[in-house]
């Protein structure tokens, strides 16, 4: 029997599982919700539920979407021959905010847990290989973060596409090691994309 009644304990435990939320913050948030007006708390629960119920991975790029196919893949104005590989939807959103990328994406999948992430990335890389083998892809750009996890993802993709006969490039080396694409300004991101480096792969 803990210091808090069971439903509250359960909420504290659930909030404590979130990234960046320590035990004290989890308690503070739980008490906030306990004291909040019921509609506020119910809306939060409904929003969480909607994210899990209504979104699923796009069958092509794996980005979360409520539609059968995501808006970007379904857009005939986007260049389907140019695929930008990103780790999560957060980097995808950063490139979309930048607004100067006209191709499509492949989302490798989150870092929620290492094992989960690896499984998801393996499925995404397999999907990417299929897309490339369709023969309509001219170039795969690796837009992974310049950090340990991103470099690992980058190497996996390069290894998988080595014999695929497609041009493989990566973002320009101007990005500082450990930088997070999500927080880079549009001009820096645009420059990194425009001045991308070839990693080979062409036949
Ligand atoms: Zn898509």
Q: What percent of the chain has pLDDT over 70?
A: 92
Extract the tokens encoding 162.
Answer: 């080595």
In angstroms, rounded to a whole number, what is the distance separating the alpha carbons of residues 86 and 201?
A: 19
Per-residue pLDDT band for 1 (boundaries 50, 70, 90) equals: very low
CA 203 to centroid of ligand 1, rounded, Å? 27
CA 105 to centroid of ligand 1, rounded, Å? 7
77 and 32 belong to one structural domain: no
Whole-number Cα distances in Å, 177 to 49, 110, 171: 36, 20, 12
Angle in degrees, CA 86, 88, 91, rounded to 5: 65
Residue 110, domain member (yes or no): yes
187 and 158 belong to one structural domain: yes
30 and 120 belong to one structural domain: no
10 and 29 belong to one structural domain: yes
CA 96 to centroid of ligand 1, rounded, Å? 13
CA 75 to centroid of ligand 1, rounded, Å? 9
18 and 62 belong to one structural domain: no
pLDDT exceeds cutoff 80 at 58: yes
Instruction: Indicate the pTM of the whole model.
Output: 0.82
**pLDDT 10s digits, 80-89:** 999 999 999 9
Instruction: Tell me the CATH number at 91.
Output: 3.40.1360.10
CA 151 to centroid of ligand 1, rounded, Å? 23
């Amino acid at each position: 029997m803990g210091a808090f009644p069971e439903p509250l304990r359960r909420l504290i435990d659930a909030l404590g599982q979130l990234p960046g939320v320590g035990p004290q913050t989890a308690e503070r948030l739980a008490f906030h919700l306990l004291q909040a007006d019921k509609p506020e708390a119910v809306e939060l629960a409904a929003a969480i539920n909607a994210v899990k119920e209504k979104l699923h991975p796009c069958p092509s790029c794996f980005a979360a979407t409520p539609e059968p196919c995501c808006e970007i893949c379904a857009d005939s104005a986007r260049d389907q021959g140019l695929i930008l590989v990103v780790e999560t939807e957060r980097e995808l959103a950063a490139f979309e905010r930048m607004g100067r990328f006209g191709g499509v994406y492949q989302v490798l999948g989150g870092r929620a847990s290492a094992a989960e992430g690896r499984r998801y990335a393996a499925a995404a890389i397999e999907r990417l290989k299929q897309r490339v083998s369709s023969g309509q892809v001219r170039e795969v750009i690796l837009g992974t973060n310049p950090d340990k996890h991103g470099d690992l993802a980058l190497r996996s993709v390069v290894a998988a596409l080595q014999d695929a006969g497609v041009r493989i490039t990566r973002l320009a080396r101007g990005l500082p090691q450990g930088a997070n694409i999500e927080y880079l300004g549009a001009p820096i991101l645009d420059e990194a994309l425009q001045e991308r480096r070839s990693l080979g792969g062409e036949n």
